């Protein structure tokens, strides 16, 4: 049971498992089905074990983690989760068709040659049209995104955990936005086509033309800068669509509008999110966990390696002005 798990620094240093995965191996969530602890993962059960409340009216302070040597082991994961929540709140997960984990700093994916028309008629006993899927010849180098957060235990030990989590999530959000910027650049260079707006400003007819560029795939996601998105939302054709999709900006033909501050005001990107982009992650968030456990918090360094590539060019089209 979760009350008997021995927590130690070594759980962070297993080569093939994250801290939470290591805890799950020792304390599987499956054994808590139909119990009051159902729905909690192994880490959350440890927070309950040591009565550490990280949110709500009775939220604890940072020093609660350091009540015992075992409960201190939980603190790095608290920081990692807060920063990860910030990264995940960016639009990167909304525009990635697949997310691949790579064990090195370079990734060699597959390429597809689909140039032979599917309309080609095959005569009896004739050769079939070929689609080739081959390994790429050039590896993709993953980019490292990192941040050093200067902080001391004495400065934060009396701070509420939920307030500290908000600050850490803000760091994660900005790291996530930097990652989105790289994704946007890949979509722009890997697009199947680019069309120009008819006038000096984007019009609904331009968006309709962008939709028409998708033949085998569907335009289900549109990326636009904040100011361009605001302009789209004021279009007459959006009034009925907005009222029918409260809480989410949708174009009348079903494409989701995403605010992307990393995109300039002269470009709109349309994608079929199910086929357009692959996100490759080399590492999860890396931190110096031993120092955190020992409350040597002069600096928290976090880093993540990631990269992107376009999977199907015909699933990405660009509108410019």
Q: What is the pLDDT of residue 211?
A: 96
**Residue with structure tokens 């040591």?**
50
- Pairing between β-strand 143-150 and β-strand 193-196 as defined by DSSP bridges: unpaired
Tell whether the model's pLDDT for residue 247 goes beyond 70: no
pLDDT band for 56, please (50, 70, 90 cuts): very high
Task: State yes or no: pLDDT of 297 exceeds 80.
Answer: no
CA-CA distances (angstroms) from residue 117 to 113, 122, 222? 11, 11, 28
- pLDDT, tens digit (0-9, with 9 covering 90-100), for 20-42: 999 999 999 999 998 999 999 99
The number of beta carbons lying within 10 Å of the beta carbon of residue 10 is 10
Q: Is the pLDDT of residue 290 over 70?
A: no
- Cα–Cα distance measured from residue 19 to residue 29, given in angstroms and rounded to the nearest whole number: 15
* DSSP line for 245-311: STTS-B-TTSPEEEE-TTS-TTEEEEE-TTTSEEEEEEEEEE--HHHHHTT--SEEEEEEEEEEEES
Confidence (pLDDT) at 187? 97
260 vs 117: which has the higher pLDDT: 260
What contacts 292, CB < 8 A, 6 or more positions away? 75, 76, 79, 300
Tell whether the model's pLDDT for residue 315 goes beyond 80. Answer: yes
Query: Helix (H, G, I), strand (E, B), or coil: what is residue 224?
Result: strand
Q: How far apart are CA 49 and CA 127, in angstroms?
A: 66
Instruction: Read off the pLDDT of each residue in 236-240 and give the average, rounded to a whole number.
Output: 82
Which of the four pLDDT bands, split at 50, 70 and 90, describes residue 118? confident
In the chain, how many H helices and how many E strands? 11, 13
CB atoms within 10 A of CB 321: 16
- Of 311, 310, 314, the C-alpha closest to 218 is 314
Is the distance from CB of 317 to CB of 192 less than 8 angstroms? Answer: yes
Q: What are the structure tokens assigned to 84, written together?
A: 């990860």
Question: How far is C-alpha 257 from the chain's CA centre?
Answer: 17
250-283 residue pLDDT tens: 899 889 999 999 999 999 999 999 999 999 998 7
**Does residue 105 contact residue 142 with C-beta atoms inside 8 Å?**
yes
Which phi and psi angles does 178 have, rounded to 5°?
-65, -40
């Amino acid at each position: 049971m979760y009350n008997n798990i021995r927590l130690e620094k070594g759980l962070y240093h297993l080569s093939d498992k994250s801290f939470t995965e290591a805890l799950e191996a020792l304390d599987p969530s499956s054994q808590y089905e139909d119990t009051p602890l159902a729905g909690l993962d192994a880490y959350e059960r440890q927070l309950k074990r040591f009565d550490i409340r990280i949110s709500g009216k009775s939220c604890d302070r940072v020093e609660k983690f350091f009540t015992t040597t075992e409960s201190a082991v939980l603190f790095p994961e608290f920081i990692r989760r807060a920063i990860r929540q910030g990264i995940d709140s960016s639009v990167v997960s909304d525009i990635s068709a697949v997310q691949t984990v790579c064990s090195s700093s370079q990734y060699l994916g597959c390429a597809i040659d689909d140039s032979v028309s599917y309309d080609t008629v095959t005569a009896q006993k004739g050769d079939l049209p070929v689609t080739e899927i081959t390994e790429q010849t050039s590896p993709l180098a993953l980019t490292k995104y990192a941040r050093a957060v200067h902080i001391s235990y004495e400065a934060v030990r009396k701070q509420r955990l939920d307030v500290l989590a908000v600050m850490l999530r803000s760091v994660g959000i900005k790291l996530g936005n930097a990652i989105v910027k790289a994704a946007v650049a890949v979509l722009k260079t890997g697009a199947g086509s680019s069309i120009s707006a008819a006038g000096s400003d984007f019009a609904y007819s331009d968006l309709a033309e962008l939709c028409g560029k998708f033949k085998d795939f569907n335009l289900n996601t549109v990326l636009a800068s904040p100011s361009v998105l605001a302009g789209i939302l004021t279009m007459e054709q959006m009034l009925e669509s907005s009222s029918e999709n409260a809480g989410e900006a949708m174009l009348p033909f079903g494409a989701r509008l995403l605010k992307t501050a990393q995109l300039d005001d002269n470009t709109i990107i349309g994608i079929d999110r199910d086929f357009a982009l692959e996100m490759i992650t080399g590492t999860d968030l890396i931190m110096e966990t031993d120092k955190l456990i020992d409350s040597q918090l002069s600096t928290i360094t976090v880093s993540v390696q990631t990269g992107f590539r376009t999977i199907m060019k015909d699933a990405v089209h660009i509108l410019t002005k």
